[in-house]
C-alpha cells in the first residue's frame, strides 16, 4: 500500500471485531508515528495505551459520571461556541449521514444517546489510546499533535488495522488522568479506538465526503 492509498482508504470506524491486537503490533505503529514532524523537533506527544482492565475501568467511570449528570469538561475548546457556514452545514450533513447509516431516525433522541455512549466503549475496539501534551507548551503544539495522530492512523491502515480518532474521549480528562496516572501538567488532547474493523457492521459503510479543490485552494502567481 502506498501513501495515497492509505490516505484515501483511512476512515473512522465505529464497530470493531472482538479480536485482540498484540502489544507488539501497537508498539510497531507507535515506532513509526514517532517520526512525525514537530516544531523545533520538540516531539510534544505523550501516549497512554489502554487495553483490558484499564480500558474497562475508563469506560465504567465515564458512563457512571454521565449517569450522575456530569457534563463534559475538556481542557481546551475543540468546537466553537457559535457555528458559521459552510462548517455548520457540513457538520449537519455529516451527522445526518452517520445516523442514517446506523438506521437511527432523526427524532429518536434515546437511540442517538445510546449511539453516542459507544464512544466511551471504544466502539468495541480492544485498544484505546490517549494523547496528551505538556500544558506549558501552549496550544500551538496542538498542530504537532494532529500530525502525530494522523501519522499513527495512516500507519494503522497499512497494518490492516482500523481507527477512530475521538475528541469525545477527552471530554472527561479528570477521569482519564486518574485511571492512567497522567500528570495534571499535561493537557488531554483526544483519544483513539484501534482494532480490526467489523466489515459486516452497517455503520462502517458510512464515508464522509470532501469538497473540491476550488472551494479551498487559491493560486497566486
| pLDDT of the chain, 221 residues: tens digit per residue | 899 999 999 999 999 999 999 999 999 999 999 999 999 999 999 999 999 999 999 999 999 999 999 999 999 888 998 999 999 999 999 999 999 888 888 888 899 999 999 999 999 999 999 999 999 998 899 999 999 999 999 999 999 999 999 999 999 999 999 999 999 999 999 999 999 999 999 999 989 999 999 999 999 99
The domain in which residue 66 lies consists of 3-78+121-200
Contacting residues for 50 by C-beta, under 8 A, at least 6 apart: 58, 127, 128, 129, 130, 179, 180
Tell me if 185 sits within 8 A of 133, measured CB to CB: no
Asked whether residue 168 is assigned to any structural domain, the reply reads yes
DSSP alpha helices (H): ranges in 83-209?
Answer: 87-101, 109-117, 142-158, 173-180
CA 140 → CA 121, 143, 145, 219, distances in Å?
30, 6, 10, 26
Q: Kindly state whether residue 152 falls inside one of the protein's structural domains.
A: yes
For residue 65, being part of any structural domain is answered with: yes
Domain count, the chain: 1
CA 148, 165, 61 angle in degrees (round to 5)? 115
Tell whether 220 is covered by a domain: no
Residue 113 belongs to a domain = no
Quick check: is 56 in a domain? yes
Contact 145, 36 (CB under 8 A): no
Q: Is residue 8 part of a domain?
A: yes
Q: Which H or E element spans position 46?
A: strand 46-51
Among residues 156, 126, 130, the alpha carbon closest in space to that of 21 is found at 126
For residue 19, give the CATH number of its domain: 3.40.109.10
Q: Assess if residue 177 is contained within a domain.
A: yes
Amino acid at each position: 500500500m502506498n501513501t495515497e492509498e492509505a490516505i484515501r482508504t483511512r476512515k473512522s470506524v465505529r464497530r470493531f471485531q472482538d479480536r485482540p491486537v498484540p502489544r507488539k503490533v501497537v508498539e510497531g505503529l507507535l515506532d513509526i508515528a514517532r517520526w512525525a514532524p514537530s516544531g523545533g523537533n520538540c516531539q510534544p506527544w505523550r501516549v497512554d495505551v489502554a487495553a483490558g482492565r484499564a480500558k474497562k475501568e475508563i469506560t465504567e467511570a465515564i458512563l457512571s459520571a454521565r449517569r450522575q449528570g456530569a457534563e463534559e469538561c475538556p481542557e481546551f475548546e475543540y468546537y466553537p461556541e457559535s457555528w458559521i457556514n459552510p462548517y455548520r452545514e457540513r457538520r449537519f450533513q455529516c451527522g445526518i449521514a452517520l445516523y442514517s447509516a446506523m438506521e437511527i431516525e432523526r427524532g429518536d433522541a434515546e437511540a442517538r444517546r445510546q449511539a453516542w455512549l459507544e464512544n466511551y466503549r471504544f466502539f468495541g475496539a480492544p485498544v484505546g489510546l490517549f494523547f496528551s501534551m505538556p500544558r506549558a507548551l501552549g496550544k500551538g503544539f496542538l498542530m504537532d499533535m494532529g500530525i502525530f495522530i494522523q501519522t499513527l492512523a495512516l500507519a494503522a491502515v497499512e497494518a490492516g488495522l482500523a481507527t477512530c480518532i475521538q475528541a469525545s474521549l477527552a471530554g472527561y480528562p479528570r477521569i482519564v488522568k486518574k485511571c492512567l496516572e497522567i500528570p495534571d501538567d499535561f493537557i488531554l488532547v483526544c483519544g483513539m479506538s484501534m482494532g480490526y474493523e467489523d466489515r459486516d457492521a452497517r455503520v462502517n459503510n458510512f464515508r464522509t465526503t470532501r469538497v473540491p479543490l476550488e472551494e479551498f485552494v487559491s493560486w497566486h502567481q
